[in-house]
Every structure is written in C-alpha cells, then in structure tokens.
Chains A and B, each alone.
Chain A
C-alpha cells in the first residue's frame, strides 16, 4: 500500500491518494476494549447514502475508539458493527488509522470542520472516490463519508471519454470549474456545469453562462468586473452570488485573469470559478454575509451595509419588514432611505452624502406605504468610516414605535401619578384643616359639653374617612358616583348613633348622580350637620319607637340636584330657636360653599330640609 497526500488550495481540501489497497488490509480482529452505548437511530443511519462514522477520542487523542461505522464502510470491509465497536482504531484498522489519525486529531483539537477526498487506485487506475467531512460534536469526532461509487472493482464514469483521466474525474465531481474566452467565444469545463447544475448547450460559447445567473443585487458587481477586466487590469478576485435555473442560491469565488497585447487589446480571459456554498445550506463566505446573517431574524433592528453607496448596498431582512416593502421592490432602487424619511432627515442625508457631516442619528416617523394611519417611529444611524483607503458606511434602522408608545404611556402615567400624589396631599391637609376648624368651632360653642363635641367630631371624621377610602383608588376626582358614599355614610351613622339611640337611617340616591369631590365634600358635611340636628332635636322622647331619618337625593335638571332630609320626630315649633346655633351657621356656610339654597319645610310630621345645589362647580383645584 502506498499513500500520497496533497492539499488542494483552491478547494481547501486535503486529497489523499491510496494505491493498491486490498480488502484484507482494511480491518483486522482486535480486542474489544470498551462497552459503548448503542448509537441511536442506527437503522435510519444505515439507510443513508452518506456514512456516519463515529470515533471517541482516547487518552486526549492518542488514539480513537470506534463507536460505530457506516453501513457502506462496513459492507466494503466485509465486517460487522459488533466486530469494530469498542475497539481502538489503531488496532482494528491500522490502515484507516494511518489515513485518518492526523485529521481526526486536528479536528478533535481545533473543533473546526475538515474536508478530505480519498482516491483509491488499483494498478494506477482510479477505482473509487470518497468525499470526507470530519466534524467534532458532543465530545466525538464524526467522519461523514460520501462514496460516489460502491462497486469496488469498476468505476464507471458517464462520459466515457473521460473515464481514464484523473483530472477529468475530479472535475466531474468537483464544484470547481474554469473557462476561457478567446476571440469572443467561451469554453466551459464540466465543473462549471456542475456548479450551475445544467447540461451543456450549443449556445454556451456565445455568452457568460455564469455571470448571466447573477442575482439582481450582484448585477452591478458583474458590470464592474467586466469593466475592470476590459480596461487593462489583469486579475480580479471576488465573490459573486448566482441563482441557478433550479432556484438554488450559490456563492461563487471568482478568480479572473486577462491577457492583453502590446496595444492594450484584450486577447483572452481566463476564469476560475469555485462554488463555496457547500451543499444545501447557505455557507457564509463574506464577512458582510456573516453580519447580515446575524440580523436575519430581527424585525425591529436592521443592519445597513454601505447605505451611502448607490450601487453596492445591502440591508438585512429587518429593513424590509420595518419599511413594509418587499425586497424586490426596494433592492435596486437608489436612495431608498430617502423615500422613507422625513424632509429634515433627507436634508441631513444630503449632507452626509456630500460628507458635510460624517454621521447621522435621526428619529423620524414613517408612513408605511404612505398610509397616514399606519405610522412607525424609527431611528436611523449611519456612520462613514475609512478602511483600506476607501470610504465606507454602515448603519442601523431601528423600529422604536412600540418603545415610543410605551415610553409615552409611562411618561403620562408618571405625570398623572405625580399630580395625583400632590392632589392627595393637598386634600389630606385641607381636610385636616377642616377637622381642626370644626374642633375650634365646637370648642367655642360647647365648652362644657365634651360628649357633644366627641359625637359631632366622630361623625365628621367618619364622613371625611369615607371620602378618602372611596377616592383611594380613583384617578378621576371630577366624576364620583354619590350613591355609594351616602350608603356608606348611613352605615357609619347606624354604627355610631342608630344602635345607641334606636334611630333608623334610610337613603334614596339617584344612581346616575356623579359629582366632583369639591361638591361631595361639603355635601357630606351638610348632611352630617342636618342629621346631627335631627338626632339632637327631633326625638326628645328617647323611648319612642320607629324613629327614622331619611334622605332623598335626586337630579332636578342637567345642572341641579336636590337633597331632601327629613325625620319623623316632633318637628320645629320655633325656627328662630335653631337659627342662632352653631349647627345652623355651619349649614349656612356649607350651603354657601355649595352655591346652593336651603329651605326649612313644614311637613305634618317631623322636620324637613330641602337643599338645592348645582351639580357642577368651577374650581381652580380641578384645572
């Protein structure tokens, strides 16, 4: 057996030629060193055309334990899985150990994928080709082998003209090809057809069958390449993206060479083209693609590569989501950003284009498809920088619509909260003042009757406490429903007075009556005062049954409401008796505060007060 290794720079692949290896040399009996867990999905894996061979590093890569080999590999070696699993590679297959050890060790240490190609020769005749990919995953080294031919004695190449020729054979499987252009005619190698994935056609000599397939974004690049190569430049290296007829996007590494005569006229052009897409998945080959790929799932943030370059710009997918347009609509239009931003921003763009400024950071509102009802708030930043003696630009477009809305809501809520706290503080202090003033007034009027003062103050305190309790969770102090206040006030009175004096309290309140706190506060205090008067004067005979104080509060018209408070007591014989007392003075003053009017009625039974008051009141506190 003879082995020859060579590194193919163009393809970044290690090619190993193996001469005259026989079946008996592939495997040999070896002691089973380790009991390993069975590989899951063995049955499925055995049906794959690609073999998955798994090796476990042994003593930091000094050797490798075979965990499992692919079905094609086993079949060709005429050996079973049980005969190889748990054995050291060096003992079980010295030949594969010799072929693979260095590469397995390299991948195990670097964790970087490695590509190899094994060419098996028998008597200088190519018998088999195996493409190999070595990867490291989950502590194991995986060797994926793809055998283009499974008959170990014959190797049939579809185009019989080429079947003896190694170069052509490699070309046949290769994703690397070349072309010449001489006297205006093109000549294409098989590798090119492998790349573009179609058969030869007679007209292929008339045009560039690869550049023709360039995706719209790269058409300007093709123009540039051809222009550059025709103008005396002898080489060009770059990456071009094409879309094959069957719809595959491929990344091609292009190396062009041109020859010119002494007059500078183009004699011939030679192109070396390599498919660097690597299989089905899109392999990122350019740093730009790497960056763009990193942003592909972001719908709120878009990366803008060269936004100031009119031809060579690329935006990540999020850009099209943010602006609400298809990529096709926008991909080749000039100055597309100018279409979405406001006039002020456009002016700044112009300055940036003219390099009057070197960076831009603007927030603007964008009407999606011109719809004024569908606006987005976006932020755009673009920076110009120098690299490799050329000017470049990079930018970001961020959709901050939701952030802005949330921020605005928070600001409003915060402002509202501040106002509310200020308002509550004010009200608490004001009410403390009212209670303090009540106490001062009571002390003057009832110097030697502390029990009366306590009764009165307790009742007022309860009324103001109801106000606080009810407005604790309220944000709107201007539309407070009165009914529940009065019900609560009744409940308090029952607890404080009703049970002790045997008086029943009853209320009927118009449920649609909403009042501002500026009205409710004096109204509750008036009701308190009138109720206390009734308790004090209406029922001199404490033992009489069915003592009752009722309230009826109803809407009279859009701006007026009325309170009727009555008792079924003894009534007032001489009105002047009560007009001089403190209670009466408080009632008069609170009525004045309400801008209301109070009347003493003379029903057949008991006493009745009628208070008419406006339901709205302008007050600087409500501004």
Chain B
C-alpha cells in the first residue's frame, strides 16, 4: 500500500507541484489543504502516514500549532517551509516533528526524509505495540 501523505500548504502552485511530484514517487496524496484547522480536521478524519506541513498558513493558525495537535495522534510531521530561521526551527522542534525541509525543496531530499520518517514511525509504533503486548 502506498504511504498516505497530507500536504498542508497555502501556496497553490507549490501544493499542486507537491501533489504531482509525490504521486510520481509513489506516494498517495490524500489531500492538500491550506489552513491549520483544515489540516487538523483532515488528519483526524483520514489519519495520514505523514503530514507535510508548511509553517505560515492561511487563516489564524500557524503550522506549528496545528502540528502540536496532530502529533498527539502519533502522526509524524515533516515541516516544509521557507522559514528557516533559528527561532522557527526551535519552535517547530517539538514532539511529533520528524524532519525539517527548507524551500525551495529538492524532491530527492524530500523523498529520503519521507522514507526515513515513515520507517521510524513504523518502528516506534512496533516498539509501542510490543511494549503493550509485553505488559499485557
């Protein structure tokens, strides 16, 4: 089964390109949304394998805020942003964030980050499942 990705991006052209590029690499883009709230709603409804999250978004909720909510559901987040200053990096380096890819992105690097993130999330999930089984 193809890994399912939710793209949260407010720049329409970037979102469109991401969708095509990721699909060419074999991922399934389950949706592209442009607000923090839409990201939370879609993640809750469709539980993607990874969320590709921009930081500056349309609306009044930043990507980091939305990511904090989504990461509570153990969905890994990769930030894809033009905001590469230290402050933003510190703020985004919270639980659930697995990667930080800066714009303009290199699709090969993004692909590698996605693969590592998905594998790591799977491993962690397995550990969690094993630990749960052991204690049970």
Q: Say yes or no: is A522 at the interface (Cβ < 8 Å to chain B).
A: yes
Q: Say yes or no: is B83 at the interface (Cβ < 8 Å to chain A).
A: yes
* Cβ-neighbour of A441 out of B10, B20, B58, B60 (below 8 A): B20
A157 to B15, CA, bound (A): 112
Contact A429 to B21, CB < 8 A, known contacts A620-B61, A621-B56? no
A441 x B17 contact (CB < 8 A): yes
Within 236-261 of A, Cβ neighbours of B (below 8 Å) are at: none
B14 x A429 contact (CB < 8 A): no
Q: Say yes or no: is B13 at the interface (Cβ < 8 Å to chain A).
A: yes
Q: Say yes or no: is A555 at the interface (Cβ < 8 Å to chain B).
A: no
A593 x B34 contact (CB < 8 A): yes
User: For this complex, into which size category does the number of interface residues on chain B fall?
Assistant: 20 to 34
B16 x A618 contact (CB < 8 A): no
Q: Say yes or no: is A350 at the interface (Cβ < 8 Å to chain B).
A: no
A219 to B56, CA, bound (A): 73
* Cβ-neighbour of B12 out of A426, A522, A623 (below 8 A): A522
| CB within 8 Å: A-B pair count | 89
Closest to A434 in B: B13
* Cβ-neighbour of A585 out of B11, B16, B21, B57 (below 8 A): B16
Q: Mark A432-455, 1 if CB is under 8 A from B, else 0.
A: 111111101100100000000000
A541 to B108, CA, bound (A): 44
Q: Say yes or no: is B103 at the interface (Cβ < 8 Å to chain A).
A: yes
Contact A433 to B104, CB < 8 A, known contacts A426-B82, A441-B13, A620-B61? yes
Contact A433 to B16, CB < 8 A, known contacts A426-B56, A620-B56, A620-B59? no
* Cβ-neighbour of A433 out of B11, B21, B55, B60 (below 8 A): B11
Residue numbers in A under 8 Å from B84 (CB-CB): 429
Q: Say yes or no: is B102 at the interface (Cβ < 8 Å to chain A).
A: yes
A619 to B36, CA, bound (A): 11
Contact A429 to B20, CB < 8 A, known contacts A593-B34, A619-B56, A620-B59? no
A530 to chain B, nearest CB (A): 15
B12 x A620 contact (CB < 8 A): no
A335 to B111, CA, bound (A): 76
A590 to B17, CA, bound (A): 13
A593 x B104 contact (CB < 8 A): no
Closest to A422 in B: B85
A444 x B20 contact (CB < 8 A): yes
Q: Say yes or no: is A525 at the interface (Cβ < 8 Å to chain B).
A: yes
Does more than half of chain B's interface fall in helix, strand or loop, or is it mixed?
loop
A619 to B56, CA, bound (A): 8
A244 to B103, CA, bound (A): 85
A585 to B12, CA, bound (A): 10
Q: Say yes or no: is B89 at the interface (Cβ < 8 Å to chain A).
A: no
A437 x B82 contact (CB < 8 A): no
B56 x A433 contact (CB < 8 A): no
A621 to B35, CA, bound (A): 12
A64 to B24, CA, bound (A): 107
Closest to A585 in B: B16
Within 381-437 of A, Cβ neighbours of B (below 8 Å) are at: 422, 425-427, 429-430, 432-437
A432 to chain B, nearest CB (A): 5
* Cβ-neighbour of B60 out of A422, A426, A429, A620 (below 8 A): A620
Within 14-32 of B, Cβ neighbours of A (below 8 Å) are at: 14-18, 20-21
A437 x B58 contact (CB < 8 A): no
A620 x B62 contact (CB < 8 A): yes
Closest to B34 in A: A593
Among A433, A525, A618, A621, chain B packs the most CB atoms within 10 A around the CB of A433
B13 to chain A, nearest CB (A): 5
Closest to A418 in B: B85
Residue numbers in B under 8 Å from A619 (CB-CB): 10, 56-59
Within 470-518 of A, Cβ neighbours of B (below 8 Å) are at: 518
A432 to B57, CA, bound (A): 17
Q: Say yes or no: is B73 at the interface (Cβ < 8 Å to chain A).
A: no
A525 to B12, CA, bound (A): 11
A437 x B56 contact (CB < 8 A): no
Residue numbers in B under 8 Å from A440 (CB-CB): 17, 20-21, 107
Among B36, B55, B103, chain A packs the most CB atoms within 10 A around the CB of B103
A564 to chain B, nearest CB (A): 21
* Cβ-neighbour of A586 out of B16, B63, B105 (below 8 A): B16
Closest to A587 in B: B12
A433 x B58 contact (CB < 8 A): no
A437 x B61 contact (CB < 8 A): no
Q: Say yes or no: is A293 at the interface (Cβ < 8 Å to chain B).
A: no
A441 x B16 contact (CB < 8 A): yes
Closest 7 interchain pairs by CB?
A437-B17, A429-B82, A589-B12, A593-B12, A433-B103, A433-B104, A436-B104
Query: Given contacts A434-B13, A440-B20, A589-B12, could you give 11 more A-B pairs where the C-beta distance is less than 8 Å?
Result: A426-B56, A426-B82, A432-B103, A433-B82, A436-B105, A437-B13, A437-B17, A440-B17, A522-B12, A619-B10, A620-B61
10 residue pairs A–B, Cβ–Cβ below 8 Å: A429-B82, A430-B11, A437-B17, A590-B13, A592-B12, A618-B58, A618-B60, A619-B57, A619-B59, A620-B62
